[in-house]
Structure 1
Amino acid sequence: MRKIALLFFLLNVTFMMAQREVSGIVKDKTGTPLPGVNVQEKGTKNGISTDMNGSYKLNVNEGATLVFSYIGFTTVTKPATTAIINVDLEEESGGQKLEEVVVTGTRTAPRSNTTSALPIDVLSSKDLTATGQATFDKALQYRIPSFNTVNTPVNDATSLLDPYEIRNMGPSRTLILINGKRKNLSSLLYVQTSPGRGETGADISAIPTDAIERVEILRDGASAQYGSDAIAGVMNIILKKNHSDGSLTIRSGITGEGDGEMLGVTLNNGTTVGGNGFLNYTIDFSKVNQANRPGTVDAEGDAGDFGAPLADVQSFLARRPDAGNINGSPETAAAKFLINGGNDLNDITQIYYNAAYVYKKVNSFANYRTPYWRTLDPANPYLNDFFGNGDDANPSYDGYVPTFEGDLNDYNATLGFKTTKNGWNTDMSITTGGNSQTYSVNNSVNRSNIKQSSIDPDTGLPAVDPITGEVIYTSKYQENSPISFKPGGTSFNHIVGNIDISKTLSDHISIGFGSEFRTETFAVQAGDEASWEGMGADSFAGNRPENSGKWNRYNFGAYLDVAYDVTKDFLINGTARYEDYSDFGNATVWKLSSRYKFLDDKVTLRGSVSTGFRAPTLHQIYTQKSQYSFVPGSGIQVSGIINNVSPQARQLNIPQLDAEKSTNITIGIGSKPFKNFNFTLDYYNIKVEDRIVLGDKQDTQFGSVAWFSNSFDSRTSGLDVVMNYNNIGIGSGKLGFNLSGNITFDNERISPVRTGDSFSQTLESLMFTSRPETKWILGANYEIGKFGFSLNNTYFGKTTFNQDGLNADLKTEFIPKIVTDLGITFSATEKLTLAFNVNNIFNVLPEWKFVAENAAGSAILADPAQVKTQYNLITFNGRYSQVTYDGSHFSQLGTMLNLSLNYKF
């Protein structure tokens, strides 16, 4: 027995001595790690696949040769002569296009978007820049049917960033990630009567498009994987990693009307750091001039609203038919800086980091204060002193237009490391981010009749009348008012810590688990006294000290994700998450998803069911303010918002906010019947309970005020369609088609409004019918030689509004429109490319009409006088004739021409 044991020992030693361990990382030419690459010892069955970080480790025989293969990439063969073999794979030219590996939607091992159990859109940097749109959010508008962003005509701070949403769910229900890490929310809370009212979201327009490698958009509820804000879906922005092939891009543009001039320059470049690291950086500067699309104002309507003599109104409008209004798009300047980098510390550990800073300044205008709106009182000639020639005998006062100026600062940064040991993948990171906005109002006045005692300059005491001995009082404002104000601002920041661990346990099971700790701070900065005291600054009152302050909360979350490949075709994925918030309690949610492939992977059936939650934002909990807004028939009025933790809320028996709860169901099919054609259809059904909304103003002992509440339940359902057919040979070029669409089946309130709340038909239509019922994008691209051509048609379906003040027997309907975009690229050399885009080539503008709800409505439409009255109510007497006061889903600026030059280093 001893001899036999010794023999086995010697054989084992010999075998071990004949083998050696080889490891490395496999990446593409941009430096992106490739998971799932097959690494095999040539001539044997000995092999392994790279993990989620592109890493592999394999014991091979002496003198072995390794073969690296991956669908869509050229196969690489290398002798195993060293212990570390790193490989860069190149895409096959003219071959089968790589099925994108997506990291969004699962916390276990990544999968391709055709084998994922969830609907995920993947957009490359080329897809985004091909739209010719100036900002990232507008590029998504013309690429993703279920993504919508609203163009508001004039809404004060809303001019800093437009509200956006996925699947009609509002901006606060889509979670934004950068390289898989949570991006900070904006500090702006939308409070005007426009789509997105009562919501807040991350400022995605702040992200420079040239810094983006690709965008992964998960169109499914994902609270179980990622926590709050993911009821509608997740947008994961993957930054560029290339350390070479830098470029300089110069962009210019102008509208078809000759305004809105745009000029921008972007530098994207990279460098190696040490021998095993990279740093990619982006610098972006842009300036967009104001574009103005005012309407023609109706004299009789203005005379009635302001109680002014018709002759005076007509005299002013003869000089200024648009009543001096400036509405369209504001003047915007932006500076954006971003870095993305990483270093391999050793064979199994990598450190990574990214950071961004954005500064944006917006100059816009309030409604013009006409001389019959803000009248020149002979006893108080200060308006002529401020805005006229100051001559009492011959005043030249002709009204004034206050300006609104916003300064936005947005930053985010992540530092983390990944390591792989014994098959366990560990990712630890810390992320910080913030957004601040400060405002200025100029060319305005505080009209309050507040008296204050005069001060004797000699004594420093109140001055008295030498005859009567009474204290002498003067106006604090009016003729003594400043004309420039600092109304304050808001800020939001968070710090997020993440630990994520995953492992592929076998060919069938992979797991992921982790935790997150997040702290958030929201602050309201008080304005200067003149901006809020009394009436405050005309057009935009400042934040009062008692409504200002700083508030903080924290939360802890933990999740477990298990993926089970029952067979190579049948996948089941389950996730559970627990979250505990310091200010309102905890939530436990789950998700179960599955997919089944058949016919040699040509057809995939997939579906998911999940529960979710959304915590009320600090903005919604603590915002308390006075605001100016347009009230049909009454002009601009001041009203207020009281928060749910205020003494006023207790007196009105308003409960504190709780989290929203959701149930998401998605069922879909995907197919790739042959190499160049694929399509997906996905049905979704989202039920949201205790939906948080900003209700209507109500008359209370505290004046006309509104508040947030968990007011009702809602349901949204629809169908997403995506089709692509590429590489069609036409002559010596290649033609490709794409068709994608979103159809809304239901978007409605499904429960009564909570007792004590007020939710009018106006707010109901803003939330449920003011989004396109359907939206389709049909595109074609053709590449031949040095030229590339693209033609995209975006169909915006019907939307309806029941505007505030509109007769209950009527509604307005935005007529469906098709916006056509043309793009031409010319590769002059290998390094120099010119691109010319004409967006909205046929100058299609938003168009709306009145629709009767019943016979009484039909009678109104048959009477031109009544129609005119209703028209004046919702357009502020024609000031917003193109889009009404509530905005539209595509720009009212018409045709846009853009020219860019890209030079590769």
Structure 2
Amino acid sequence: MSIHSTAPTRVRLLTVLVASTLAAPATYAQSQSGDTQAKTLDQVVVTGVRASNRTSLDSPVPVDVLSEQDLRNAGAVNGELGAALAVLLPSFNFPRQSNSGGSDHVRAAQLRGLSPDEVLVLVNGKRFHTSALVNTDTKIGNGTTPVDFNAIPISAIKRVEVLRDGAGAQYGSDAIAGVINIILKDAPSGGEVSADYGAYHTHFRPTDREITDGQGGYAAADFGTTLWGSGFFHAGVETSHHAGTNRAGYDTVPDFIADPTPANLALQGQRNYAAGDPPNESYNGWFNGELPLNEHASLYAFGTYTQRHTIGDNYFRYPDSDANVPSIYPDGYLPQSIGHNRDAQTAGGVRGTLGDWNYDGSLNWGRNAFDYDLRDSLNASLGAQSPTYFHIGSYAFNQSTANLDANRQYDVAGRPLTLAVGTEYRYETFRTGAGDPASYAVGPIDAPAGAQAGGGLQPQDAADLSRRVQAAYAEVSSDITDTFFADAAGRYEHYSDFGGNWSGKLSARWEFAPGFALRGAASNNLRAPSLSQIGYEATTTGYGADGKLVTGRILSVNNPLARDLGAQPLKPEKSRNFSLGITGQLGSAFDFSLDAYQIAIDHRVTLSETIDNDGLEQYIQQNFGVAGVQSVQFFTNAVNTITRGAELVGNYRTTVANGNLLLTLAYSHNNTQIRSVEATPAALIAAGADNVLFGVEARNTLTDAAPRQRGSFTAKWDNKQWGLLGRVTRQGATTRVFDFGDGYIPTQTYAPRFQLDVEVEYRATDRLSFALGGDNVTNQYPTRSNSDINYGGNFPYDVISPIGSNGAYWYGRVRYTF
């Protein structure tokens, strides 16, 4: 990742107080200004201990700091924040999944190879809400409701600070893998207008075609103004439109996915499926402001809003199949899911000084609402009377938070000691609503019931849950000597549905020689199961991994049927985190950090394997009077894991050809192993099932479906008029495992791949610039999937490779500042 700045930057105490709930300083820092880039090492960061004088390499735990310029240079397609972070942070994985249900609409991200819901996201230091949509038809992030990174406007961001360490004692639930703090622009004057346009252009070998698709444009504008002298108001809007991509192969129509009838075989050699990025359009707005009340206090407020429309592809339904009504679709059909996503967050408060104390009191509200529809589908049991468009469900998550934080300094033996204390109250709700009656109806015809590619939520599936969380924390930090800094934090949280929990953290830094230091931390952390994991239920009709059409139910752990099959009330995940690192700085030209870590997690919440053994359908009908359920899943604390890893960041700065050159090497390695797995419940064994709660597919998801290694080398040179960037990224190997039953478990490892990104920027004036660039310009693709996995040739590339399967992306950008 690139790291650069023009000059040492000191952040005012008020800025620190904006994020007064934060708790660990930074590995290195960066900022961007004007037309030159040079690395500085003494920028104060707000994601750190509450001592206000901690700077880049002073930190006891690693923090990555990404500037506004870094995000621009990431070449993210249509302003996707998640895609930019994946380019810049080797420890951050943001796969492009296709034909993956909810993941076609809300992409899940991983930090340090852990689950998407094990990282906490903040905006201006305040907790950001998760999405409402439950991802249950996906690989990475299966069973999670992750934060939707792309709901945060990238044009609103001043910088991003990524704490790579457990931080539950400072922030509370979810901060097992780390914390990502997104800081909004706050300039009291000026602004910018920018636009870019890009498209994929690639030679697609599976079909031997030149393809240009995924065309899209992105535009953004923001401005700042002064309020009452020292106050400010900064706001902006952005929009993006992106056509879909398709990297499906030619269909061989093997008999395991379709009966070999003349109508079906007539489709051989055609591209009947679609695999790629979904078409999407989004509209975003945001604001950030501060208004002084007097010389001791200020009001502040900020907010973001996103509205996004996306279309995802599903599996093709053949003309002669029990999933089709030939009078409606004589040539078969490809159902498409439609997502209507609305996301909002707003926060406001008062911060200032009272005597020797700095305080920050705030109210924060966030909401995500998602409406899920299907088009080009049908309910085969309704025959020719079936509609082809369905509303299949609605989802809503609300989070309201109140915080009061305070800190002050004491003089202890001539050294400053910082004490911080605070309280938090959080109220969360999760609701789902039923789909159209036709989307789940059981019609008069003996055929699969419910809308194909995702039966609608039934009234019995509707969830309405809430919880209350109270917390209090204290933190103390100080330079014990000239070379030794220590920080200790403790937090107590009480959940209305799980009771109380204590978490703590100790971290320290020892400068054993000028410019060189050892640092380390130990903590215990907690993640409470999300309300969706506790109460979500759904009935679906779709194709399993073996190509067979299956009607199944996802059951809440409170459902009597799930309890009868061995489901237990969910417990919180608990982790024990340890890290040890070394940092070094040689003058102003070179710096590095190397950190090793271990994260042991007990009671990880996962969605069980699909339980679909012979006799299950009859068992459910006989014991519960529910007909037609061929498979079930429910959430479980079935597994304990341990993750070990190391992360390296190095920067070298020099002047070349009358310009500044920054070379950055970043590398991340992590390895997750299964420590233990809960035994299959006796009730499931009695029903004829065995080894199904946490099987080979679920193991694969947690251990090696995401790359264990990722690394990048970035070279960035610029002077007053030109900017040049080249970045080589190595995506590590990934492995895919399917369990088709009867001992048939096809497995394939996809080899590592190198990706080259380039950009050249020309600054026509101090205000106007133009840029041309490309991502993956050498048109690299993952390893081709073998015949056991490529679904009859339709999916030549698997969705789990971080390099994606779209090929080279080219773009142009124009930017005007004022």
TM-score, normalising length: structure 1: 0.81
Shift, 1:96, TM fit:
7.0
Q: Residues 434 and 279 from structure 1, CA distance in 2 versus in 1: closer, same or farther, beyond 3 angstroms?
A: same
Task: Report the equivalent of 1:834.
Answer: 770
Shift, 1:365, TM fit:
2.4
Find the aligned partners of 2:507 and 2:34 in 1 and give their Cα distance.
31
Query: 1:657 aligned to 2:657?
Result: no
1:33-432 correspondence to structure 2 within 5 Å: 34-35=11-12, 52=16, 97=40, 99-109=42-52, 111-134=54-77, 135-256=80-201, 257-299=211-253, 301=254, 303-309=255-261, 311-318=262-269, 321-322=270-271, 324-373=272-321, 383-384=326-327, 386-387=328-329, 397-432=330-365
Q: Residues 686 and 792 from structure 1, CA distance in 2 versus in 1: closer, same or farther, beyond 3 angstroms?
A: same
1:583-620 deviation per Cα after TM superposition (whole angstroms, max 9, x unaligned): 121111110000012433x1121000001110000010
Q: Which amino acid aligns with 1:594?
A: A
Task: Report the equivalent of 1:739.
Answer: 665
Query: 1:773 aligned to 2:708?
Result: yes
Find the aligned partners of 1:666 and 1:420 in 2 and give their Cα distance.
35
Query: 1:874 aligned to 2:784?
Result: no
Find the aligned partners of 2:565 and 2:53 in 1 and give their Cα distance.
51
1:31-87 deviation per Cα after TM superposition (whole angstroms, max 9, x unaligned): x97248xxxxxxxxxxxxx99459xxxxxxxxxxxxxxxx999xxxxxxxxxxxxxx
Q: Which amino acid aligns with 1:493?
A: N
Find the aligned partners of 1:508 and 1:629 in 2 and give their Cα distance.
62
Find the aligned partners of 2:655 and 2:33 in 1 and give their Cα distance.
23
Query: 1:794 aligned to 2:760?
Result: no
Shift, 1:121, TM fit:
0.5
Task: Report the equivalent of 2:506.
Answer: 592
Task: Report the equivalent of 1:549.
Answer: 463
Whether the aligned pair in 2 keeps the contact of 1:374 and 1:399 (CA below 8 Å) is no
Find the aligned partners of 2:555 and 2:356 in 1 and give their Cα distance.
54
Shift, 1:90, TM fit:
9.9
Q: Which amino acid aligns with 1:823?
A: E
Deviates more, 1:220-229 or 1:764-773: 764-773
Q: Which amino acid aligns with 2:748?
A: T
Task: Report the equivalent of 1:521.
Answer: 429
Q: Which amino acid aligns with 2:54?
A: R
Q: Residues 668 and 752 from structure 1, CA distance in 2 versus in 1: closer, same or farther, beyond 3 angstroms?
A: same
Q: Which amino acid aligns with 1:773?
A: R
Q: Which amino acid aligns with 1:787?
A: W
Q: Which amino acid aligns with 1:368?
A: F
Query: Any idea what SS the aligned residue of 1:765 has?
Result: helix
Find the aligned partners of 1:53 and 1:305 in 2 and give their Cα distance.
59
Whether the aligned pair in 2 keeps the contact of 1:508 and 1:567 (CA below 8 Å) is no
Q: Residues 287 and 412 from structure 1, CA distance in 2 versus in 1: closer, same or farther, beyond 3 angstroms?
A: same
Whether the aligned pair in 1 keeps the contact of 2:10 and 2:44 (CA below 8 Å) is no
Shift, 1:895, TM fit:
0.5
Q: Residues 237 and 619 from structure 1, CA distance in 2 versus in 1: closer, same or farther, beyond 3 angstroms?
A: same
1:805-820 correspondence to structure 2 within 5 Å: 805=740, 811-820=747-756
Query: Any idea what SS the aligned residue of 1:259 has?
Result: strand
Find the aligned partners of 1:142 and 1:72 in 2 and give their Cα distance.
17
Query: Any idea what SS the aligned residue of 2:456 has?
Result: coil
Find the aligned partners of 1:188 and 1:434 in 2 and give their Cα distance.
12
Q: Residues 712 and 632 from structure 1, CA distance in 2 versus in 1: closer, same or farther, beyond 3 angstroms?
A: closer
Task: Report the equivalent of 1:68.
Answer: none
The CA RMSD over aligned residues, in Å, is 2.5
1:714-742 deviation per Cα after TM superposition (whole angstroms, max 9, x unaligned): 0001000001112x222222221000001
Whether the aligned pair in 2 keeps the contact of 1:694 and 1:707 (CA below 8 Å) is yes
Shift, 1:872, TM fit:
4.3
1:621-700 correspondence to structure 2 within 5 Å: 621-699=534-612, 700=616
Q: Residues 752 and 198 from structure 1, CA distance in 2 versus in 1: closer, same or farther, beyond 3 angstroms?
A: same
Whether the aligned pair in 2 keeps the contact of 1:52 and 1:110 (CA below 8 Å) is no
Shift, 1:838, TM fit:
0.6
Shift, 1:876, TM fit:
1.9
1:417-566 correspondence to structure 2 within 5 Å: 417-448=350-381, 477-506=382-411, 507-534=415-442, 535-566=449-480
Find the aligned partners of 2:303 and 2:234 in 1 and give their Cα distance.
11
Task: Report the equivalent of 1:724.
Answer: 651
Deviates more, 1:603-612 or 1:805-814: 805-814
Q: Residues 843 and 94 from structure 1, CA distance in 2 versus in 1: closer, same or farther, beyond 3 angstroms?
A: closer
Q: Residues 486 and 766 from structure 1, CA distance in 2 versus in 1: closer, same or farther, beyond 3 angstroms?
A: same
1:745-784 correspondence to structure 2 within 5 Å: 746-756=671-681, 758-784=693-719
Q: Residues 652 and 367 from structure 1, CA distance in 2 versus in 1: closer, same or farther, beyond 3 angstroms?
A: closer
In structure 1, runs of 5+ residues without a counterpart are 1-27, 37-49, 55-70, 74-88, 377-381, 388-396, 449-476, 850-870
Shift, 1:204, TM fit:
0.9
Whether the aligned pair in 1 keeps the contact of 2:160 and 2:183 (CA below 8 Å) is yes
Whether the aligned pair in 2 keeps the contact of 1:109 and 1:502 (CA below 8 Å) is no
Find the aligned partners of 2:694 and 2:315 in 1 and give their Cα distance.
27
Find the aligned partners of 1:113 and 1:802 in 2 and give their Cα distance.
42
Find the aligned partners of 2:644 and 2:407 in 1 and give their Cα distance.
33
Percent sequence identity is: 29
Figure out how many residues of one structure are paired with residues of the other and give that number.
759
Find the aligned partners of 1:628 and 1:511 in 2 and give their Cα distance.
56
1:694-709 correspondence to structure 2 within 5 Å: 694-699=607-612, 700=616, 701-702=619-620, 703=629, 704-709=631-636
Find the aligned partners of 1:222 and 1:697 in 2 and give their Cα distance.
34
Find the aligned partners of 1:763 and 1:447 in 2 and give their Cα distance.
31
Query: Any idea what SS the aligned residue of 1:764 has?
Result: helix
Whether the aligned pair in 1 keeps the contact of 2:37 and 2:660 (CA below 8 Å) is no
Task: Report the equivalent of 1:23.
Answer: none
Whether the aligned pair in 2 keeps the contact of 1:503 and 1:511 (CA below 8 Å) is yes
Whether the aligned pair in 2 keeps the contact of 1:223 and 1:612 (CA below 8 Å) is yes
Task: Report the equivalent of 1:452.
Answer: none
Whether the aligned pair in 1 keeps the contact of 2:746 and 2:788 (CA below 8 Å) is no
Q: Residues 291 and 416 from structure 1, CA distance in 2 versus in 1: closer, same or farther, beyond 3 angstroms?
A: same
Whether the aligned pair in 2 keeps the contact of 1:698 and 1:706 (CA below 8 Å) is yes
Q: Which amino acid aligns with 2:259?
A: G
Q: Residues 605 and 29 from structure 1, CA distance in 2 versus in 1: closer, same or farther, beyond 3 angstroms?
A: closer
Whether the aligned pair in 2 keeps the contact of 1:222 and 1:234 (CA below 8 Å) is yes
Q: Residues 242 and 29 from structure 1, CA distance in 2 versus in 1: closer, same or farther, beyond 3 angstroms?
A: farther
Residue 578 (structure 1) aligned to one of 492, 500, 504: 492
1:784-835 deviation per Cα after TM superposition (whole angstroms, max 9, x unaligned): 3411100001101111122232866752001100010001100011110111
Deviates more, 1:649-658 or 1:495-504: 649-658
Query: Any idea what SS the aligned residue of 2:326 has?
Result: helix
Find the aligned partners of 1:106 and 1:433 in 2 and give their Cα distance.
26
